[in-house]
Amino acid sequence: MSQLVTIYGGSGFVGRYIARRMAKEGWRVRVAVRRPNEAMHVKPYGVPGQVEPVFCNIRDDASVAAVMQGSDAVVNCVGVLSEVGKNTFEAIHVDGAERIARIAAEQGVGNMVHLSAIGADNESPSAYGRSKAAGEAAVLQHMPNAMILRPSIVFGTEDNFFNRFAGMTRFGPVLPIARGKTLFQPVFADDVAKAAVKGVLGDAEGGVYELGGPEVKSFQALMEEMLEVIHRRRLVISLPGFAAWLTAFGFDMMQAISFQLIKNGMLTRDQLRQLACDCVVSEGAKGFADLDVQPVILGSVLPDYLWKFRPSGQYDAITGSARNLRHDG
């Protein structure tokens, strides 16, 4: 019988790439999610029955243990960018990660991969960064040989970064951002998946790996590159500190007074604190080179999925060609 990996959050942005690659490796893949009926897109990653979404609540011991039964390896991809309801940083990044690692140790699971983030630090100015660091410590307490992956900003077809800002360009001539000088090292989701597979298969030693792409660029430079890809002219404005804080505060208050019916998916005060720190690979940290993975550059992937934000969408190249013909005539 083929080996089994349980991927918590395996239908999410990065998790689905890991699930697809593990299916290609011939493993059975159990995708543990809160809403299995919304995770059916993972089933075609393998032959019938090879990849199966199952219900799991990572806040519950019994639920986590049930879906882990018989697993040879586990991957934890569950994370939140902002707190909503019971899904707090503490509950998801710390308690949830600790629960998965503890139960993995109890069940004798061989390998564990835990998805964290660059910026995980007990001294981070953001609660997000501190919770990620606490989650890593909790995982290593129970699974000392676990692989911890810390990616920089992750891009790919389903990302919530470039897609969100590209969508904002439809509403006016100005694209406002916060802390435009902050540096990022964008990494492709599938490259993160390649690293995770190394950990699942036991082809790489445990420990912390910081994952960044080949390029380091400022937030503002990333937005300008995105604008070139979607063929739109917009003025990218980095909001002054007070204006950025006031904007984040306003969105946070909107979520609070609506009793979280309106979710702050734009900018939280904690995200603003997080943006105060560069999101790049630390000097001397283990990374892609240690995993024999060659990461791709941002420009080779962005056009594959941002074309829909161009003025004429999929017909933009045709429209431009026709315009050139008129000019030639």
Give the pLDDT confidence of 38-58 residue by residue, as tens digits.
999 999 999 999 999 999 999
| Amino acid 312: pLDDT | 82
Q: What are the tokens at 84?
A: 């909503």
pLDDT at 296 over 80: yes
Q: Is residue 61 part of a domain?
A: yes
Q: CB of 190 within 8 A of CB of 17?
A: yes
The span from the CA of 11 to the CA of 36, in Å, is 9
Q: Is residue 29 part of a domain?
A: yes
Q: Is residue 270 part of a domain?
A: no
Q: Which residue segment(s) compose the domain that 143 sits in? A: 4-156+186-214+279-296
Q: Which CATH number do you get for residue 77?
A: 3.40.50.720
Q: Is residue 115 part of a domain?
A: yes
| Amino acid 123: pLDDT | 97
Give 282's pLDDT tier (boundaries 50, 70, 90): very high
Prediction pTM value: 0.94
The H-or-E segment that residue 224 falls in is: helix 219-230
Q: Is residue 248 part of a domain?
A: no
| Amino acid 259: pLDDT | 87
Residues with Cβ within 8 Å of 303's Cβ and at least 6 positions away in sequence, in order, are: 229
CA dihedral 113, 83, 308, 189 (to 10 degrees): -10
The span from the CA of 18 to the CA of 210, in Å, is 17
The span from the CA of 180 to the CA of 242, in Å, is 14
Counting residues of the chain whose pLDDT is more than 90, the rounded percentage is 92
Q: Is residue 204 part of a domain?
A: yes
Lowest pLDDT segment from 1-15, 32-46, 139-153, 313-327 = 313-327
Q: Is residue 108 part of a domain?
A: yes
Residues with Cβ within 8 Å of 231's Cβ and at least 6 positions away in sequence, in order, are: 310, 311, 316
| Amino acid 327: pLDDT | 58
Question: How many domains does the chain divide into?
Answer: 1
Q: Is residue 252 part of a domain?
A: no
> Is beta strand 147-151 parallel, antiparallel or unpaired with respect to 207-211?
parallel
| Amino acid 322: pLDDT | 58
Q: What are the tokens at 129?
A: 């960064």
pLDDT at 194 over 90: yes
Q: What is the mean pLDDT of the chain?
A: 95
Beta bridge partners of 32: 8, 54
Nearest to 32 by CA among 78, 92, 70: 78
